[in-house]
Amino acid sequence: MKKLFLIAFACVAFISCEKEEVLREKSSDSMMKFDDLDHFMKTVDQVTDLETEEQVIEWITQNNINSLFLSDNHDLLNNSPRFLAAILNKNGNCTINDKLLLINNGSISIKDHDGSVKEIGRINISSSLDQNFPTDLAKSSNHYVMEKEWEQFNRVYYRNGCGNPFPKSLKYRLVHEFKKIETSFAGYNWEIEYSVNFRMSYKSSSWKDANQTERLLSYNLNGLIQITRFEGAVEHSIPVNISGSYDCSNPAKGNRKHVIGTHNVSSSSTSSSGRSTKYSVTGSINHQVNGDNSNVYYHNVNWFK
């Protein structure tokens, strides 16, 4: 099944399928270089099976990559699955048969020497921010409350590390997001990733991510995610039991992404249209700008579907 998939994939991408060793070179971009698509997909398969962040970091270290996963390219990192972020360099690239692989607006593409671009995969994202929550808390029944996934503040103070606070004003939002990232190659489903993301945005001409501002953060979340087939049978279950904290000696910056779990669907015959997700995640998140103790986002989480 997978061999047929790789053959079909190779035909779509018009890339040689000769089996040679993967070449890795340490340069300023430290980019992984694959001689053919077959070895690229085998590496994707290998990294997809890694279950923890520690395992991913160990793999990156062994392969000597200036990896996107360890970079401060928050915009790209926020919208890439963990397995792909590990393989690609900080700019979101690798090469296959000397052709550049890149990610742009959810498209995984290969750029040929003549400048032509061929899409070989897709990244589709759904988020708790997509539900168009009202600006204020709104009771939809006597049993539960729907709320927006961010809180807006006007900062009064700031501090660096554990130093003394000093006056510094800014209009900003603290954002908490439950996210599902589905990745496919050549029309074949590959992986579903679930994560919680914590970030900050500030008001300029538009709302932009604040990737350098230090923040204090603590969270404790519990629940269950179930991937079901169209007939209702449970294909995979992911228990949610995560916690973490960032204090003044180790503050959070940029987008802090905590991967809850992943589901490798590359060998499944179920199409994406025949698969759905049910989840229930509850808990608490405390989030603030470092030094701005008067503005704390106390978020009682109730994500469900």
Mean pLDDT over the full length of the chain: 84
In the predicted structure, residue 7 carries a pLDDT above the cut 80: no
CA pair distance 182, 83, nearest whole angstrom: 12
Letter string b/e over residues 146-161, b meaning 16 or more CB atoms within 10 A of that residue's CB = ebbbbbbbebbbbbee
pLDDT confidence tier of residue 139, bands split at 50, 70 and 90: very low
Asked if residues 111 and 103 have their Cβ atoms less than 8 Å apart, the reply is no
**Tokens found for residue 62:** 């062994």
Is the confidence at residue 167, as pLDDT, over 60? yes
Separation CA 56–CA 48 (nearest Å): 9
Q: Distance (Å, rounded) from C-alpha 231 to C-alpha 244?
A: 37
Query: pTM for this one?
Result: 0.82
Domains of the chain: which residue ranges?
A: 2-115, 127-304
pLDDT digits (tens, 9 = 90+) for 210-260: 999 999 999 999 999 999 987 778 999 999 999 999 999 999 999 999 999
Kindly list the distances between the CA atom of residue 5 and the CA atoms of 8, 65, 163, 275, in Å, as whole numbers in the listed order.
Answer: 5, 28, 56, 20
**Of the candidates 81, 69, 89, the residue with the CA atom closest to the CA atom of residue 106:** 81
